[in-house]
Each structure stands twice: as C-alpha cells, then as structure tokens.
Amino acid sequence: MTNPEKVMKFTEEVVSSYYHGIDAVGQMIEGGMELLDQYRLQQRVIRESLREKLSRIGSLRHKDFDQILLPLLAYQEHSEEEVKELVQGLLRRQRDLTGMLRRSLRFGLKDDVTRFKNELVTGLEEMRLALQRFQKEQALIQETFQSLEETEEPVNTRNFRKVVETLEKALFGEHLQEKAVV
C-alpha cells in the first residue's frame, strides 16, 4: 500500500469515527429527551397534587390555579422546544460537517478541516450552555413546586401568586413580558 493510500485509509477511518461519535451523541440526546419527558410527567403529578391540595382547602379554584400558572407553563414549553430544536439542528449540522470534512480530507483541503473542527466545537459548546440553562430552570421549577406541595402550612391564593411571581422573575428576568410566551 502506497503512502497516499495509507493516508486515504486513515482519513476514512477518522471520518468514520466522527460519524460513530455523532451517532452516539444522538443516542445520548434521545435518552435525554426521554428523561425530559419523564421529568415533565413528574412535574405534572406534583402540580396536579398541589392544585388539588389548594382547591380542597378552598383557597384556590382549579381555574384560578391554571390561570396563575399559564405564563410559567407556556415559558417552560417554549424552552423545551428551543432546546429540542437546538439539539436536533446541531446533530444535523454535525452530520453535514462530517460529510464536508470527508470531502475536504479527500481533496487535501487542510484549512477547511480546521474550520469544520472549530465549528463542531462551537456548536457543542452552545448546546452544552443551553442544556445547562434549561436544566437549572427545570430544577428551580421542580424545587418550587415540591416545596409548595410539602409545606404543612395552608397556602392561600395570595401566597401562591407571590411564589409563582417570584419564580417567574427568576426565570424570565427583568423582561417578564418579553420572555413569557402566552
């Protein structure tokens, strides 16, 4: 086998390993999406339990509970969709870049290889930051609902509204109306 053939074979092996790595990341992300669905179900159970608890003590009707949580739930759903779209877009882009990388290596365009590699790294970092932000938001929502559910003190409408408003400010920041997707 000549040197160019060895280089070509090595190049194909490297690109193939990229494809396998992308597939593995895709499988991990799919598992993460399933966990997200389970997490959402868990939150729904806690929310329903809290809803029933508040209506039983007569401090908040179901309709009022739902209305108070509407902006928060809409924001949460919007955030989930953004994360899903980001992750799916990144996976598509990684597959495209890997194909371009294969062609560039085949034709000896080394400058393109560096550019593709940097783009892959940048995309992964964007995804990591978005997932961290989303995870923090979900944990904050979970903790808030869990603490309301576990409290021994009766929760009235005013207190519930105050807790939800505090949570919304923490999630939406100062631009409450801009972030709330209702």
Task: Report CA dihedral (106, 110, 114, 115) to the nearest 10 degrees.
Answer: -80
Domain residue extents for the chain: 3-179
Burial of 153 (0-12, 13-18, 19+ CB in 10 A): exposed
DSSP-derived secondary structure for 39-93:
HHHHHHHHHHHHHHHHHHTTS--HHHHHHHHHHHHHHHHHHHHHHHHHHHHHHHH
Q: Which residues contact 26 (CB under 8 A, 6 or more apart)?
A: 91
For the question of whether the overall pTM of this predicted structure is more than 0.85, the answer is no
User: What does the pLDDT look like over 118-163, one tens digit per residue?
Assistant: 887 788 788 888 888 888 888 888 888 888 878 777 777 788 888 8
* pLDDT tens-digit series, residues 9-40: 766 776 677 777 777 777 777 777 777 777 77
Quickly state the pLDDT bin for 182 (edges 50, 70, 90). very low
